[in-house]
Chain A
């Protein structure tokens, strides 16, 4: 299938959509519009958008299979890398701005606070995925290994939701909504193994 101008346009649109929350946050920062506690707002917003993009990434394969649009699969890489970018910035803001590189306090947080332990674990597991999201890396390790590494995402996203759930004080509804969506997306993958319609749909390929 050749790359038409429409496909290129769609790709650029997806990139712009992934970039929009970051642009919005930069704009609000410049305008001084992040509220009384701007550091907390930044950390929270970056984390939430990282999680949303991870979940958006999990939506792509089911959508491609259900709507028989195998070319959707090429959006997984930019969406996943943007999710990583938000989460990396989220973590960097916590380390560099919130804790001001107080490594002693950060280490104590990691070992003592379950939500930070789980967040750090999720981030660590995300690293090999980000590092193998380039054509050269995929060629080097081969599609089988690539697939195995990238199936870690089924563990990482629930860790992200748990991280969110554990830090909420009283209103657990938002993290539970994210959790329900993730459960649905993972459940679809289990069901698709036995679901003939899904099985007949074109299988996604590794290469975009």
Chain B
């Protein structure tokens, strides 16, 4: 498979000027649209093409939006699609705080205008042994982090999901520690692959997929990609993460996709791509080794699973 990064780009990869200008119109249109009161239905959110996208065929939207692990809405795969309608995604703010020069509270509509939306078609590998190809729309997390200016003490980034049991029925039972928490090392957070997704299939995110804004870290198991984010904190210490608290021997802080290191209860050597019959071999770092392996050079990935 061909996974390119900026260094591989040639003249042929430059977007033609006509398309580029049309994209600007698109963004202007999208920005206008965002001024309107929020609607429950998905709104168009086109994104420009990205060199980080995989050429693989995306999983049907129907499967991506009905087969979800989002325990805030229930533990079964079809629970989120059924129950997430109750979540109100406006008004919505994201607090960015901790070890940074310019902490602040961002309104979601400000965040949506922070950077031009990009379409990133990523492989998504769940720790349970299934995978999808998902056409996300969003912008790099590094765009936001650079804006707030991390200090030299910012070694990690901690994320929190909304805690609102009235709209998230799964939170009424302590299946996991609420609110859901996740975290990344600062270099992982600044990696150009790491995405803040606000859309799917050219439209704003459905609630069951983590609306209005979620993390996507494609070389890690899906549970690292925290949904419906309300807090981002830069800090010196490794953050507490929901699944690690639930079962520390099974879900590590790093949780990089790794066919060599099995989950204690099941093998990670293969995966079932949703829509396919036979299992396929799982690839190191979910096929993103070129972009991310150097971050883990010299680390024992069996120890730091």
Q: Which residues of A contact B (CB under 8 A)?
A: 35-37, 39-40, 97-100, 105, 108-109, 112-115, 166-167, 169-171
Contact = CB atoms under 8 A, between A and B. Distances in A.
Is the interface on chain B under 10, 10 to 19, 20 to 34, or 35 or more residues? 20 to 34
A171 B66 contact: no
Contact of B267 (A37, A105, A171): A105
Contact of B265 (A97, A108, A113): A113
A139 B270 CA distance: 48
A97 B275 CA distance: 14
A36 B63 contact: yes
B270 A112 contact: no
A170 B175 contact: yes
B265 A167 contact: yes
Interface in B265-279: 265-267, 269-270, 272, 274-275, 277-279
A40 B175 contact: no
A36 B270 contact: no
B77 A170 contact: no
Closest 4 A/B residue pairs (Cβ): A36-B67, A36-B63, A171-B75, A171-B175
Interface in B49-76: 59, 62-63, 66-67, 71, 75
Judged by DSSP, the binding face of A is helix
B190 interface: no
Nearest to B127: A169
Contacts of A108: 267
Contact of A40 (B130, B176, B262): B130
A39 B267 contact: no
A100 B63 CA distance: 23
B246 interface: yes
A37 B272 contact: yes
B78 interface: yes
A99 B279 contact: yes
Interface string B82-120: 000000000000000000000000000000000000000
Contacts of B66: 35-36
Nearest to A105: B267
Given A108-B267, A167-B265, A36 B77 contact: yes
A178 to B, nearest CB: 16
Nearest to A170: B175
Contacts of A115: 265
Nearest to B76: A171
Nearest to A115: B265
Contacts of B71: 170-171
Contacts of A100: 278-279
A137 B67 CA distance: 47
A100 B67 CA distance: 23
A181 B278 CA distance: 37
6 contacts: A35-B78, A36-B77, A37-B77, A108-B267, A115-B265, A170-B176
A32 B269 CA distance: 28
Interface in B180-233: none
A109 B66 CA distance: 29
Contacts of A37: 67, 77, 130, 272, 274
A115 to B, nearest CB: 6
Given A35-B66, A113-B267, 4 more contacts: A35-B78, A40-B130, A167-B265, A170-B176
Nearest to B74: A171
Nearest to A167: B265
A103 to B, nearest CB: 14
Given A170-B71, A170-B176, A39 B77 contact: no
Interface in B255-289: 262, 265-267, 269-270, 272, 274-275, 277-279
A26 B122 CA distance: 34
B272 A39 contact: yes
Of A36, A39, A105, A171, which is in contact with the most chain B CB atoms at under 10 Å from its CB? A36
Nearest to A171: B75
A171 B59 CA distance: 28
A43 B57 CA distance: 27
A97 B128 CA distance: 17
A39 B266 CA distance: 16
Contacts of A105: 267, 269-270
Contacts of A99: 279
A98 B279 contact: yes
Contacts of B63: 36
Contacts of B62: 36
A100 B277 CA distance: 9
A36 B274 contact: yes
B67 A35 contact: yes
A100 B171 CA distance: 38
B76 to A, nearest CB: 9
